[in-house]
Amino acid sequence: MPATATPDKKRKTTRSTKESGSTTDGGSVRGVRNLLARNHILIKDLTAEERGQPLIQKVREIVKGARQSAMKPETAQELRYLANKHATDNELTFLVHVWTHLLNETRQARPELLTENTGEAIQWIETAWTHDNLKCNWSADFAPKSIPPITVPDNDPDLKELANDIPTISNPRPDLAYGLEKDAFTEMEQMLNTEHGARLSPNMEHPFLVVEAKSCSGPIEEAENQCARAGSAMVSLTRRFNDSAEKAGSDTHEGQTNDRDKGPSNHPRPPASSNNPNPSTTTNSRPPSFPDDTSFSFSLALVPTKAHLFINWAEVTPNAKEPTQPPHTVWQMNTIDSYDLEKPDAWPELRRDLDNVLDWGTLTRKRQLQATCARMVTEGGNTAKRQKRA
């Protein structure tokens, strides 16, 4: 399905407040953000941004990569016009008109077999998004069993009422979700995807980008709340899928922390020492947190005058008292870039960045997922052989 595919014509272009999860008043927006924070879903936490800076910088390099072609000035002016014209329409009407002009069905892309590690000059070819098995879903519910649960405190009736009035808090339904078609994978990989729960949105494997839009009826902070909730679901899904590959080659008992949750190679867990001069790494303090750099995803909050592109990622803290138990995980969302869409030059930048995200998802990330599937097969087979010999 092309990047600019539109919703089914039979689908209504208006939704009730409860169906769309609208929280247009500032108090409700703050209430949702408070509820998300209580459930370890944080939005634009500056201290987390500082801790996750290596990952965030890595992602910015992906997003800001140069491309072969640029948006024409007249296209940018048309997008400004459309955003302004449909600003007072309902959010789905606004999004359909803007999005179908923002992304083309074809783009200049790098061939899949030509990577940065080949040592060859970067080449570009004209290709359709469908060639790379990109899948786009409009307003599709996420699979509830694959989403980190939201717990509402019993002693806060206002939050309980808010959660009941906005069902998308518990069950995200992003305006747009991007992932991969089933045909992007071999039959063996498809079997592993099914077995290990790679599907979060209907008929879509491994989602990696969601878009939440608001017209003049809602503030961008409301879209940010929805981005954080759906983003935590995508990251959680990828973490569990990666865990399956780790466990395929591990003889540890169920529930034991795997090596990935002890931190990446550039974030080693320091040895406990009473003589350690750094108070943040002593035995009497919480062990250092680190970003899981294997499971991040993207989200975009969009309103007629501006857009915010985010990285959604997991910040992991090993369990100091019970090292064999699962670590503490916080779902973070931090800004990659902001776009002032009242300025014509912001539209070409936004499309370039989105094209780079979609290229990453259909090329680099797809290869990483295929490698993960290969580890499941190889390491899982080796484990079975060891058990048979035993």
Q: What is the DSSP letter of 285?
A: S
The span from the first CA to the last CA of the chain, in angstroms, equals 49
Tens-digit pLDDT string for the chain (390 aa): 456 677 764 444 444 444 444 545 567 899 999 999 999 999 999 999 999 999 999 999 999 998 877 899 999 999 999 999 999 999 999 999 999 999 977 677 666 545 555 555 556 666 777 788 999 999 999 988 788 888 888 888 888 888 777 877 888 999 999 999 999 999 999 999 999 888 888 899 999 999 999 998 789 999 999 999 999 999 999 999 998 888 875 643 344 445 455 554 444 333 333 333 333 444 445 668 889 999 999 999 999 999 999 999 999 988 777 767 777 899 999 999 999 999 989 999 999 999 999 999 999 999 999 999 998 887 655 444 444 444
Three-state SS for 141-166 is CCCHHHCCCCCCCCCCHHHHHHHHHC
β 204-213/297-303 pair status: parallel
Closest CA to 38 of 285, 331, 354: 331
CB atoms closer than 10 angstroms to residue 103: 19
β 328-340/41-43 pair status: parallel
Q: How far is it, in rounded angstroms, from Cα 156 to Cα 174?
A: 27
β 306-317/290-291 pair status: antiparallel
What pTM did the predictor assign? 0.83
Q: Parse the chain into domains and list their residue ranges.
A: 33-112+123-248+288-389
In this structure, what token pair is assigned to residue 358? 């979609």
